[in-house]
Amino acid sequence: MRYISTRGGIEPIGFSDAVMMGLARDGGLLLPETIPDVSDHLEAWASLSYAELALEVMRPFVDIPEDDLRQLVDRSYATFRTPEVTPVVAVGDVHVLELFHGPTLAFKDVALQFLGNLFEYILKDREQDLNILAATSGDTGSAAIYGVRGRERIRIFVMHPKGRVSPIQERQMTSVLDENVYNLAVEGTFDDCQEIMKSVFGDLEFKDQFELGSVNSINWARLLAQVVYYFYAALRVMEQTDAKRVRFAVPTGNFGDIFAGYLAARMGLPIGRLVLATNENNILARCFTAGDYSLGDVHATLSPSMDIQVASNFERYLYYRLGASAETVRVLMKSFATTGKLLLPQEEDASIDDLIVAGTGNTEATLATIREMQAEHNYLLDPHSAVGVSVGRQFMQDGEPMICLATAHPAKFPAAIEQATGKDLARHEVIDALADLPTRSDEVPADAMTVRTYMAARIALPAEPVDE
């Protein structure tokens, strides 16, 4: 399988090169040249373990020998607290896909444990080093750090918006004191962090000199790893319910998690609807209800990982939505960078997308959903997952079970749980163990040149002046 850019400015490259490149050198995002149809394999795949299924789903996309890929997959998911890796639990009228059984109790672990092992494998084969720059709105940072901490040939620099992630999310990142880990508290929003990252990666001379790579969802390998759990959940729920199709409700801010479901559907997984759920930062919901993808102010909510306006993975969807026209994508993204607004083409009386529907779960709905699920089913949802359940229930249909993605353990957001239920119910030994650990981070302004200089000094190479 070879990979191309959404903006058409690079020659096709192999999987390992795509992993190491992260963001395409023309500023676009990488996608496979073709998407395989695996619908004929679904019956055989239904009985596979998670690791066995991951091997089958990933195999068409990679250029790694099968035995090596199997070892990478097995090593990555051996770190999870349940052999199912991502179990599905029936709760009331929905099925909850629990994605929080990894080392940092968040869905990002599913991809980033694999990506950490994959990086190490490629770097050893190529005898290269890698310096990772990441931006996080909460969970990506800690999951990425835990995926690469202590590894040879890798340093990681994680930017988070100061004061805009939960205290536990911050402590999970900043309590990791390995020599190859650097935490930067950026005086701005997550969108500022993403903009800095794009600026740094867009400086190709700097990127090459300092051997930069990405673990954010702009990296294709992250999305590939996330596709697996859509197959795993759908096949199990269809087997349990005799359903022919399922629906997924996905809380999302950066469009990465739901785009993995979109890819699964294009591969032949029978998905009736993908329900896109946002909080008050509803740029994506507005896009899929009215075609209006335009920037607004970032609002602080109970689900901080979704407090995003610019969704970095939306460009991948746009590429397919516009008939795989890289030229059209390039023009629209250039216009969006200038105006902050993009209108999706839409025929009169037609939906924006036949697969994706969208809605918003505000703070009131989030708290009500947490409270109801705990009171009626003795099941705790974190606030992000509660947004997904709240919106998902608006799009239920007989014969198509609703699978709601639970993206984080509720213990990561105890204040929201107590606000909803009036009780201190959200606990986990992994979180409790963080309380007395020392932490380390550096505050920096929301300025790309400052971040460049910071990285260069710690990589022990001279920082070259950069024209902004």
| Neighbouring C-alpha atoms within 13 Å toward the C-beta of 248 | 31
Q: Is 108 an active-site residue? A: yes
- Residue 193 neighbours by CB distance under 10 Å: 27
What kind and span of H or E run contains 293?
strand 292-294
Q: How far does CA 421 lie from the centroid of its chain? A: 28
DSSP string of 364-395? Answer: HHHHHHHHHHHHHH-----HHHHHHHHHHGGG
| Neighbouring C-alpha atoms within 13 Å toward the C-beta of 240 | 15
Active-site choice (108, 162, 207, 412) = 108
CA distances from 43 to 39, 85, 102, 235, 239 (A): 9, 20, 28, 8, 10
Bridge partners of residue 95, in order along the sequence:
90, 403
Q: How far does CA 435 lie from the centroid of its chain? A: 27
CA distances from 149 to 152, 176, 182, 437 (A): 9, 8, 10, 16
Relative to beta strand 442-445, strand 181-187 is parallel
Residues 383/407, Cβ–Cβ less than 8 Å: no
Relative to beta strand 94-98, strand 402-406 is parallel
Question: Residues 413, 414, 418, CA angle at the centre, nearest 5°?
Answer: 130
- Per the listing, tokens 């994605």 go with 99
Indicate if the alpha-carbon torsion angle 350, 352, 357, 360 is positive or negative: negative
Active-site residues, by number, are 108
